[in-house]
Amino acid sequence: MKNNRIKNIEKKVLSDNWYILNKYTYEYQKDDGSWETQQREAYDRGNGAAILLYNKKKGTIVLTKQFRMPTYVNGNEDGMMVEVCAGLLDGLNPEECIKKEVEEETGYQIDRVRKVFESYMSPGSVTEILYFFVGEYKEKMRVNEGGGAEDETENIEVLELDFESAMGMIASGEIRDAKSIMLLQYAKIHQLLGQ
Ligand SMILES: Nc1nc2c(ncn2[C@@H]2O[C@H](COP(=O)(O)OP(=O)(O)O[C@H]3O[C@H](CO)[C@@H](O)[C@H](O)[C@@H]3O)[C@@H](O)[C@H]2O)c(=O)[nH]1
Ligand SMILES: [Mg+2]
């Protein structure tokens, strides 16, 4: 940490039930040189990785569909979310993590992935940085049905969609998950699936 305008950082754990909610109190030096005390809560659930699985020949991509409680309590009618495959690092490096998640959630065993960018997803409240990948899948790489890890009570449906229909689902509001929109737009801009 290298910001001379921040000092005396104190951390108080507000909740450590599943992930950790911390309250930070610190002094911040304003433009006029004076110091003020600030407080910010930061939810720490670790970092994550996400991937767009695509098949250039077929013009298709693989997405997941699952119930997301935080969206259900905030206007998402049935709580179901269509998302790219993603998961928390859980001690692995981003590349190892995403390959493991791809196999667990979608059933594909892929050997090559390419990192395309990284992003803080909600910098005002969540500590998480997310690493973004793209990777090609082929039918012969399917080793199981996917669906998510049993011990994590994940119930994930695997969707194989035409790339252009998925782009249409952003416009229609059927896809409204930030990491998924970012990767789909990356694929469009860089013509990953051709024109
Ligand atoms: N019991 C319990 N289980 C939980 C809780 N929160 C999460 N879990 C379980 O932990 C699993 C974590 O699954 P991952 O696949 O590793 O993570 P993810 O939830 O898919 O995370 C991805 O999407 C997030 C939301 O967009 C991203 O924030 C994250 O970086 C990653 O990309 C969840 O599916 C769920 O089963 C909780 O509070 N209690
Ligand atoms: Mg996941």
pLDDT at 195: 67
Average pLDDT of the segment spanning 62-66:
97
State what percent of residues in the chain have pLDDT above 70: 98
| Atom 5 of ligand 1, residue of closest alpha carbon | 18
> Is 16 inside any structural domain?
yes
Ligand 1 atom with least separation from CA of 148: 15
Q: Which backbone phi and psi does 71 adopt, to 5 degrees?
A: -80, -30
Residues in CB range of 100: below 8 A, 6 or more apart? 87, 92
Residue 144 has pLDDT above 90, yes or no: no
Q: How far is the CA of 133 from the centre of ligand 1 (A)?
A: 18
The stretch 173-190 carries a mean pLDDT of 98
Do 57 and 32 share a domain, yes or no?
no
DSSP symbols for 115-164: EEEEEES-TTTB--EEEEEEEE--GGGB-S-----GGGT---EEEEEEHH
Residue 25 lies inside a defined structural domain of this protein: yes
* 38 and 88 assigned to the same domain: no
ipTM of this complex: 0.94
Q: Examine residue 164 and state whether it is found in any structural domain, yes or no.
A: yes
Residue with tokens 């979608």: 106
In a domain, residue 195? The reply is no
Which residue spans within 45-99 are E strands per DSSP? 48-55, 60-67, 80-83, 85-88
CATH number of domain containing 115: 3.90.79.10
Q: 111 with 178, same domain?
A: yes
Whether residue 27 sits in one domain with residue 78? no
90 plus 154 within the same structural domain = yes
73-94 residues labelled b (16+ CB within 10 A) or e (exposed): eeeeeeeebbbbbbbbbeeeeb
Dist CA 61 CA 179 (whole Å): 15
Binding site for Mg(2+): which residues? 86, 101, 105, 152
Shared domain check, 34 and 53 = no
Judge whether 102 lies within some domain.
yes
Domain count within the chain: 2
Nearest CA to ligand 1 atom 30: 48
Q: Which domain holds residue 37?
A: 6-44
Read off the tokens for 67. Answer: 């119930």
pLDDT tens digits along 91-105: 999 999 999 999 999
Pair (34, 53) in one structural domain: no
3-14 residue pLDDT tens: 999 999 999 999
What was the pLDDT predicted at 88? 97
Q: Are residues 83 and 163 in the same domain?
A: yes
Which two three-digit tokens encode residue 88?
A: 């928390």
Q: How confident is the model at residue 148 (pLDDT cuts 50, 70, 90)?
A: confident
Rounded-to-integer distance, Cα 99 and Cα 106, Å: 10
Residue 144 inside a domain? The answer is yes
